[in-house]
Chains A and B, each alone.
Chain A
Amino acid sequence: MHDAVLELQDLSIHFGGLKAVEALDLQVKEHEILGIIGPNGAGKTTVFNLVSGMYRPTRGKVLFEGKAIHHFPAHVITHHGIARTFQNIRLFQTLSVLENVQVGMHHRLTTGHGTWFWRAVSKIGYFSAENKQRQDSLQILEKTGLRQWQSERASSLPYGIQRKLEIARALATGPRVLLLDEPAAGLNPSESKELMELVRRIRQQFDVTVVLIEHDMKFVMNLCERVMVMDYGQKISEGTPEMVQNDPKVIEAYLGEEWNDVEVS
Chain B
Amino acid sequence: MRPKKLSNTTQTILTFGLVVLAVLLLLLAEDNLNTYLVRIISLTGVFGIMAVSLTFVNGASGMLSLGHAGFVAVGAYTSSLLTMSLAQKQTSFLLTGVAFPLNTELLSNMPFLPATLLGGIVAAGVAFVVGWPSMRLAGDYLAITTLGFAEIIRIVLLNASRFTNGSLGLKGISPFTNVWWSWGWLLVTLLFFASYAKSSFGRALRAIRDDPVAAKTMGINVFRHQLVSFTAGGFFAGIAGSLYAHWLTSIDPKPTTLGMMLTFNTLIMIVIGGLGSLSGAVIGAGLFAVLSELLRVVESDTVLFGFRIAGISGMRMLVFSALFILVMIFRQQGIMGRKELTWNALWQKIPTSGKRGNRNA
Contacts and interface: CB of A to CB of B under 8 A. Distances in A.
Given A102-B203, A121-B195, A93 B217 contact: no
B216 interface: yes
Given A102-B200, A126-B199, A75 B221 contact: yes
B11 to A, nearest CB: 14
A104 B211 CA distance: 13
Nearest to A104: B218
Nearest to A79: B219
Contacts of A107: 218-220
B136 to A, nearest CB: 13
B132 interface: no
B201 A117 contact: yes
B224 interface: yes
B59 to A, nearest CB: 11
A121 B200 contact: no
Interface string A108-140: 011001001100111100100110010000000
Contact of B217 (A84, A99, A120, A122): A84
Given A78-B219, A83-B217, A169-B218, A92 B199 contact: no
A121 B207 contact: no
A94 B219 contact: no
Contact of A121 (B199, B210, B211, B213): B199
A74 B220 CA distance: 9
Contacts of B290: none
B201 A120 contact: yes
Given A75-B220, A90-B214, A92-B214, A103 B199 contact: no
B196 to A, nearest CB: 5
Contacts of A170: 217
Contacts of B338: 94
A54 B217 CA distance: 8
Given A92-B211, A93-B210, A133 B200 contact: yes
Nearest to A85: B217
A106 B217 contact: no
Interface residues of B, number: 26
B264 interface: no
B228 A117 contact: yes
Nearest to B209: A94
A86 interface: yes
A110 B203 contact: no
Interface residues of A, number: 41
B267 interface: no
B298 to A, nearest CB: 39
A234 interface: no
B138 interface: no
Contact of A75 (B209, B222, B228): B222
B13 to A, nearest CB: 17
Interface in A141-189: 169-170, 172-173
Contacts of B218: 75, 78, 83, 103-104, 106-107, 169, 172-173
B192 interface: yes
Contacts of B206: 92, 94-95, 99
A95 B221 contact: no
A213 interface: no
Contact of B195 (A100, A123, A133): A123
Contacts of B216: 54, 73-75, 78
B201 A91 contact: no
A95 B214 contact: no
Nearest to B210: A92
Interface in A228-247: none
A106 B204 contact: yes
Given A90-B213, A95-B207, A121 B219 contact: no
B144 interface: no
Interface in A171-223: 172-173
Interface of A: 52, 54, 73-75, 78-79, 83-84, 86, 90-95, 99-100, 102-107, 109-110, 113, 116-117, 120-123, 126, 129-130, 133, 169-170, 172-173
Given A90-B213, A106-B203, 4 more contacts: A75-B221, A78-B218, A123-B199, A126-B199
14 contacts: A75-B216, A75-B220, A78-B217, A78-B218, A84-B217, A94-B210, A95-B206, A106-B200, A107-B220, A121-B195, A121-B196, A121-B199, A123-B199, A130-B200
A-B residue pairs, 3 tightest by C-beta: A107-B219, A78-B219, A120-B199
